[in-house]
Amino acid sequence: MTQRLFGTDGIRGLANEKLTAQLAVEVAMAAAEVMRQTMPPHALPGSSGRPIAVLGRDPRASGEFLAAAMMAGLASAGMDVLDVGVLPTPAVAFLTAQLGADLGVMLSASHNPAADNGIKLFAAGGRKLSDATEDAIQARMEQTDLPYQRPIGEGVGRIQVVLDAQQRYVSHLLSTIDNRLAGLTVVLDCAHGAASTVAPQLLEQAGATVVTIGNQPDGLNINQGCGSTHLQRLQEAVRDHRADVGIAHDGDADRCLAVDAQGEIVDGDQIMAILAVAMKERGQLRSNTLVATVMSNLGLSLAMKREGIELVTTQVGDRYVLEAMLAQGHNLGGEQSGHVVMLDWATTGDGLLTALQLLSRMAHTNRPLAQLATVMQRLPQVLINVPEVDKARVGSNEAVQQAVRQAQNSLGEQGRVLLRASGTEPLVRVMVEASQPDQAQAVAQELADVVRHELSLHQPVGV
């Protein structure tokens, strides 16, 4: 097999350069053939019994031709396609399960700029494809022969628009809360993305008063100065409207960050802490455990320890959080970026579900978000990127490891040191947390200097 096509979150790249219509057709046909071989079809009433795919996208301009290409490839390989239109990634995962489909397809590059796009595939039940299945799809794409006769006549797939897809998803999310949001004024930033229509509808049906920004997608403005990666506009809008809370999603709405009534950011760590405590109180937090990555703030660990909740940490990446949750039977996890997974109601990170649960907690307790967020105190965190170094030796160089041990000893339990090699560049990330900002900065700079000196690519090893 050549270089792996699938990354940690599907196939992603510059649309019409790396991610072409031809590639989309090839991925679709290979996926249909692999799924046909590995899974029995789930016939919908009135259908012919052909395998079924659910396809959705965010509003990027390139999504239009990529969706057409994917549908053509799937149908030509004998798979019926249920087109759910512009919807969040977690909605596509949910509908894949609810509609009994064999495959789910989401076209989105999440929080990336509009010129990028991506193909994310879900297996039956709405769960991410296994690495083995992704590899099988790529292997099929690299074959030059056809393993079977392509379908003709009634064997080709049919394409059908699902007119009630959005309401199906909204109804599902509303079923996860048992109290109304009446009395809450929410400013909602949809990032000109996939949530632009469905997120305001959800919160309004839940009873909130909603002021919406970032909800005018034109195919080119997704994530542009708005959404979860650009919170300034939301902060200003919350203060201007004297709202109770602000909610920000990214382009495909699998993330949620928040802003309190004073305009202060409430990040994914704080949201997870609030939800973990709420679920523990209701007896819903399995094994009283939260799963997060090593990049979560130390304040989250300290808060969970105080609340009697175990914190399990994984390497960086929502896929590793999800893997740990599934393997160990936990039902709440996520990342500081606002990607929160609640397995009782979703198979992947769901920004709308996260927002709804957070707002429900506010309404149920009649407490402002700023007060709820005090469950954890974020420790000052400094991150320094050290470029042009041999990242492979960061864990084996004795001078670097000695410096890490000394730094951790000086910080004690109220501080933390983490060195992490970049996955794509000759770069090491030095992260330090401490009780005081000056201390965090000083320790991080000392460690960065050691890494730069010991691992530099511009000097012989050991010099």
Q: Point out the residues that are catalytic.
A: 110
**What CA–CA distance (Å, rounded) separates 277 from 372?**
10
- Amino acid identity of residue 84, one-letter, is V
Q: Closest by alpha carbon to 399, among 361, 451, 363?
A: 451
3-state secondary structure of 285: coil
List Cβ neighbours of 7 (8 Å cut-off, separation of 6 or more): none
> Which strands make up the sheet holding 310-314, listed edge to edge?
310-314, 289-293, 332-334, 340-342
- Quick one: tokens of 4? 């792996």
Tokens 């769901």, residue located: 350
Cβ 213 vs Cβ 226: under 8 Å: yes
Entry field: residues in the chain: 463
Q: Closest by alpha carbon to 56, among 90, 86, 35?
A: 86
User: How many other C-beta atoms are found inside a 10 Å radius of the C-beta of residue 247?
Assistant: 31
**What CA–CA distance (Å, rounded) separates 338 from 347?**
16
Give me the helix-helix angle, 89-98 and 165-174, nearest 10°: 90
Q: What is the DSSP string of 170-227?
A: HHHHHTT-SS--TT-EEEEE-TTTTTTTHHHHHHHHTT-EEEEES----SS-TTTT-G
Backbone torsions φ then ψ of 310, nearest 5 degrees: -80, 140
- Amino acid identity of residue 306, one-letter, is R
Alpha-carbon separation of residue 187 from 8, 339, 362 (angstroms): 32, 19, 15
- Quick one: tokens of 375? 């469950």
DSSP 376: S
Give me the helix-helix angle, 89-98 and 351-365, nearest 10°: 100
Cβ 112 vs Cβ 223: under 8 Å: yes
